[in-house]
Amino acid sequence: MIIELGHYALVLALATAVIQAALPILGARLNDRGLMELASSAAVACFLLVAFAFAVLTFAYVTSDFSVRNVWENSHSLKPLIYKISGVWGNHEGSMLLWLLILTFFSALVAAFGRNLPETLTANVLAVQAWIAMAFALFILLTSNPFARLVPAPGEGKDLNPILQDVGLAIHPPLLYLGYVGFSVCFSFAVAALIEGRIDAAWARWVRPWTLAAWTFLTAGISMGSYWAYYELGWGGWWFWDPVENASFMPWLAGTALLHSALVMEKREALKIWTVLLAIMTFSLSLLGTFLVRSGVLTSVHAFATDPTRGIFILAILVFFIGGAFALFAFRASHLKAGGIFAPISREGALVFNNLILTTATATVLTGTLYPLVLEALTGDKISVGPPFFNMTFGLLMLPLLFAVPFGPLLAWKRGDLAGVSQRLFAAVAIGLLCGTAYYYFMNGGPVLALFGIALGVYLIVGSLTDLALRSGLGKVAGNVAWRRFSGLPRSAFGTALAHIGLGITLVGVVAVTAFETETVVEMKPGMTVDAGGYSLRFDGMRNGSGPNYTEESGHFTISRGGVTLSEVWSSKRLYQARRMPTTEAGIRTFGLSQLYVSLGDQINEGGIVVRIWWKPMILCIWGGTLFMMAGGFVSLSDRRLRVGAPAKAKRPKSVPVGAAE
């Protein structure tokens, strides 16, 4: 009965969303407070209902209730508890329910913190959120209902794909969705602004924290996914420009642009229309990503849902929301007042440059991702657009932006002094080149471009630190004064610096791995030794073992350097019994920031085996940098400026005309 109650709660959530979508907009039109306040109650109620439904589904998974088809299809009674729980979103139906849960969670947050916003804005925002919730609740109930039942109930489930039984993948989707769906709030704010036909200063202040939160989670989600692919798939790669990866990367790029343009808008009231457009585009890309992944139109290693009705339904949602929002934009954008003016060389100018490059880069990724689909639909030709295309376009486009990053925070608003800033960044450039050259010699040569790549990364890091140092007056004022100033800097300044430093670190990792990685494929017999990255690996032999639901063959390797034994590593191939599915468990050993990566191939006669060994210099920088970016996001989010912008209750009578207060 509890299952059916959860199912009913989901249906009731849809009904609540219908009300939330209809009445508050009416209230905003009629200036009726009751109708507008209904939005907040409805948003909270809707969230609680979906949360209950989600809890019930989780309960069904935990108790292995195979009378629920979804549980039967994706669970097994012998699976460890954590994978029973993560199995809830390890499949299409459950992951869509998680999508809806996060969407309604954000609505509830807007309702909870929205007391400070103008009532009409809150009402409209929540109504737009409810439109999205309605569409997805309907999608879930009609095409992918996780509460469908099986009578009679089977005795055992079909188990989760073993490759998904991994801690990294247990938390990757929720993080990714927090990012994807977080942008829905920005979208709703943008559409609400268009409906009202005006944007005020409070609007920008309110959009920024949501963008920041969504962006931070999306960064975490993408980074986690990349690391998972790296260690679990056994191919040693960390980014494949796979369409599904691009689907999450495009909203991230657009979201990064939005983050920066919202800054201009808040501080200078400029770029209003552009920011609204960008907010719509960002969430549209999130929806597009959901469509690409869920409809199975892609030839991708990830798409686990291939069902045409679902695809068409999501396509309809996509067309409705993107088309509707852009139509509204075309219709209403002229009502928005244009804001302040600025010189091309200025902080605003730098942020426009940032936006220009990021959106162009997003467009190239979008083109590369969709072109094969469009071409196939038009001509029937099948092509694949792979890493070479993206490296050539995206990589080249991003270069000027990376160079410009440290300039942004150093330029003054309105009118900046480029020569002065260049002078201040001279030290950063010099240190960068120095480090690049040093690393180049340390690695005994290699591509010269790599030297500049490393230099660029270091320059980003030092340049960001330069900003903090200059702001605290380091070197100009006494040490203790500089320290006081430093600690008095707004948190957002630290956030900016951290995120930019993270970008530099990731860049260093990417360049080092791309240029200096070594890969050895070799046939090894026990006792044989192979050199990689200055270390020697000796293959000692194979061993058979077994885990709770798999059997494995592991190879043992001893790692030494200069004759001294340092470490050992096991690398295995597993066979999961329930689905008869083989997986590779690569052996990875970390030395500083670099890693040795060993994966096994096929066994050949006489105890020999094909082994693939990578030396991945500085690879941990790639994900280490994203940790810095996330830290930057959270630090900025804690800035007090983001929390104000609301009239205190006591002040209201002053600003409200007497006639209206009656």
Partner 1 sequence: MLFWILVATLTAAVAAVLILPLLRAGEAPSSPHSHDIEVYRDQLEELKRDQDSGLIGGDDAELARAEVARRLLAAGESDGETAPAAAPRRGVSRLAQAFVLLCLPAVGLCLYLLTGSPGLPAQPLAARLADPNGDINILIAKAENHLAVNPNDGAGWDLLAPIYMRNGRVEEAVDAYDRAIRLLGPTPARLGGYAEALVVQSDGVVTNKAQDALKQALSLDPNDPRSEFYLALGLKQEGKKEEALTAFNRLVATSPADAPWLPLVKQHVAELAGPGAASAAAPGNPSADDVAAAQSMSAGDRQEMIRGMVDSLESRLKENPDNLEGWARLIRSHVVLDQRDKALAALREGLKIFPADGDGGKQLLALARELGIATDGVTQ
Partner 2 sequence: MTRKQKRLAIIGGCVGFLVLAAFLVMFAFSQAIAYFYVPSDLAKADVPPGTRIRLGGVVEAGSVNRGDGKTVTFTVTDTLSGVPVTYTGILPDLFREGQGVVTEGTFVAGSSVFVADSVLAKHDETYMPKDVADRLKAQGVELSGKETIK
Q: Which of 151, 341, 564, 661 binds partner 2 (CB under 8 A)?
A: 341
Q: Residue 8 touches which of partner 2, partner 1, none (CB < 5 to 8 A by kind)?
A: partner 1
Query: Binding marks (x or -) toward partner 2, 574..613, rule CB under 8 A?
Result: -----xxxxxx--------------xxxx-x---x-x-x-
Q: Residue 338 touches which of partner 1, partner 2, none (CB < 5 to 8 A by kind)?
A: none
141 binds partner 1, rule: CB under 8 A: yes
Q: Which is closer to partner 2, CB of 141 or CB of 356?
A: 356
| Cα(180)–Cα(255) distance, integer angstroms | 10
269 binds partner 1, rule: CB under 8 A: yes
Strands 581-585 and 564-576 come out as: antiparallel
Among residues 20, 176, 161, which one has the least CA distance to residue 102?
176
| Cα(138)–Cα(97) distance, integer angstroms | 11
User: Least distance to partner 1 from the beta carbon of 168, Å?
Assistant: 28
384 binds partner 2, rule: CB under 8 A: yes
- Side-chain half-sphere of 512: how many Cα atoms within 13 Å? 31
34 binds partner 1, rule: CB under 8 A: yes
Scan residues 390-429 and list those touching partner 1 (CB under 8 A): 412-414
426 binds partner 2, rule: CB under 8 A: no
179 contact partners, CB below 8 Å, separation of at least 6: 214, 215, 216, 217, 218, 219, 220, 221, 222, 248, 251, 252, 255
Q: Please choose, out of 32-40, 66-74, 358-366, 558-566, the segment that lies near partner 2 by the rule CB under 8 A.
A: 358-366
- Strands of the sheet containing 564-576, edge to edge, are 529-532, 535-546, 550-561, 564-576, 581-585
419 binds partner 2, rule: CB under 8 A: no
Q: Which is closer to partner 2, CB of 381 or CB of 662?
A: 381
Scan residues 154-173 and list those touching partner 1 (CB under 8 A): 154-156
Q: Which is closer to partner 2, CB of 356 or CB of 482?
A: 356
Token pair listed for 410: 């150093």
| Cα(571)–Cα(309) distance, integer angstroms | 42
638 binds partner 1, rule: CB under 8 A: no
Q: Which is closer to partner 2, CB of 439 or CB of 614?
A: 614
330 contact partners, CB below 8 Å, separation of at least 6: none
User: Least distance to partner 1 from the beta carbon of 132, Å?
Assistant: 17
Return the amino acid letter for 3.
I
User: Least distance to partner 1 from the beta carbon of 150, Å?
Assistant: 8
- 187 and 279 in contact (C-beta within 8 Å)? yes
User: Least distance to partner 1 from the beta carbon of 292, Å?
Assistant: 24
| Cα(361)–Cα(278) distance, integer angstroms | 14
Q: Which of 356, 404, 542, 631 binds partner 2 (CB under 8 A)?
A: 356
Scan residues 48-67 and list those touching partner 1 (CB under 8 A): 49, 60, 63-67
Q: How many other CB atoms are found less than 10 A from the CB of residue 648?
A: 8
| Cα(30)–Cα(595) distance, integer angstroms | 64
386 binds partner 2, rule: CB under 8 A: yes
Query: Binding marks (x or -) toward partner 2, 220..239, rule CB under 8 A?
Result: --------------xx----
Opening angle at CA 459, ends 458 and 465, nearest 5: 95
| Cα(240)–Cα(224) distance, integer angstroms | 14
| Main-chain phi, psi angles of 599, to 5 degrees | -130, 150
| Main-chain phi, psi angles of 629, to 5 degrees | -60, -45
335 binds partner 1, rule: CB under 8 A: no
- Side-chain half-sphere of 160: how many Cα atoms within 13 Å? 28
Scan residues 285-314 and list those touching partner 2 (CB under 8 A): 299, 301-302, 304
Q: Residue 349 touches which of partner 1, partner 2, none (CB < 5 to 8 A by kind)?
A: partner 2
Query: Binding marks (x or -) toward partner 1, 91..130, rule CB under 8 A?
Result: -------------------------xxxxxx---------
User: Least distance to partner 1 from the beta carbon of 493, Å?
Assistant: 9
CA 650, chain centre distance (Å): 41
User: Least distance to partner 1 from the beta carbon of 337, Å?
Assistant: 11
The residue with tokens 């006591």 is: 650
| Main-chain phi, psi angles of 531, to 5 degrees | -95, 140
| Cα(111)–Cα(108) distance, integer angstroms | 5
User: Least distance to partner 2 from the beta carbon of 134, Å?
Assistant: 32
Q: How many other CB atoms are found less than 10 A from the CB of residue 587?
A: 24
352 binds partner 2, rule: CB under 8 A: yes
Q: Please choose, out of 150-158, 442-450, 613-621, 627-635, the segment that lies near partner 1 by the rule CB under 8 A.
A: 150-158
Q: Residue 477 touches which of partner 2, partner 1, none (CB < 5 to 8 A by kind)?
A: partner 1
- 10 Å CB burial of residue 513 (0-12, 13-18, 19+) is buried
Q: How many other CB atoms are found less than 10 A from the CB of residue 70?
A: 27
| Cα(638)–Cα(538) distance, integer angstroms | 50
Cα-based distances in Å from 92 to 164, 438, 582, 609, 612: 13, 50, 23, 38, 34
Say if residue 152 is preceded by a cis peptide, omega within 30 of 0: yes
| Main-chain phi, psi angles of 545, to 5 degrees | -150, 180
| Cα(470)–Cα(476) distance, integer angstroms | 9
Q: Please choose, out of 202-210, 383-391, 443-451, 496-504, the segment that lies near partner 2 by the rule CB under 8 A.
A: 383-391
Q: Which of 25, 45, 498, 621 binds partner 1 (CB under 8 A)?
A: 45
Q: Residue 31 touches which of partner 2, partner 1, none (CB < 5 to 8 A by kind)?
A: partner 1
User: Least distance to partner 2 from the beta carbon of 233, Å?
Assistant: 8
Question: Residue 479: helix, strand or coil by DSSP?
Answer: helix
Q: Which is closer to partner 2, CB of 65 or CB of 245?
A: 245
Token pair listed for 230: 């790296």
262 binds partner 1, rule: CB under 8 A: no
Q: Please choose, out of 289-297, 390-398, 486-494, 605-613, the segment that lies near partner 1 by the rule CB under 8 A.
A: 486-494
Q: How many other CB atoms are found less than 10 A from the CB of residue 202?
A: 17
Q: Please choose, out of 292-300, 354-362, 527-535, 641-649, the segment that lies near partner 1 by the rule CB under 8 A.
A: 641-649
Q: Residue 392 touches which of partner 2, partner 1, none (CB < 5 to 8 A by kind)?
A: partner 2
Q: Please choose, out of 68-76, 93-101, 278-286, 359-367, the segment that lies near partner 2 by the rule CB under 8 A.
A: 359-367
551 binds partner 2, rule: CB under 8 A: no
Among residues 118, 236, 258, 216, which one has the least CA distance to residue 520?
236
Give the residues lining the site for partner 2 (CB under 8 A): 161, 163, 234-235, 299, 301-302, 304, 341-344, 349, 352, 356-357, 360, 363-364, 367-368, 371, 381-386, 388-389, 392-393, 396-397, 521-523, 573, 579-584, 599-602, 604, 608, 610, 612
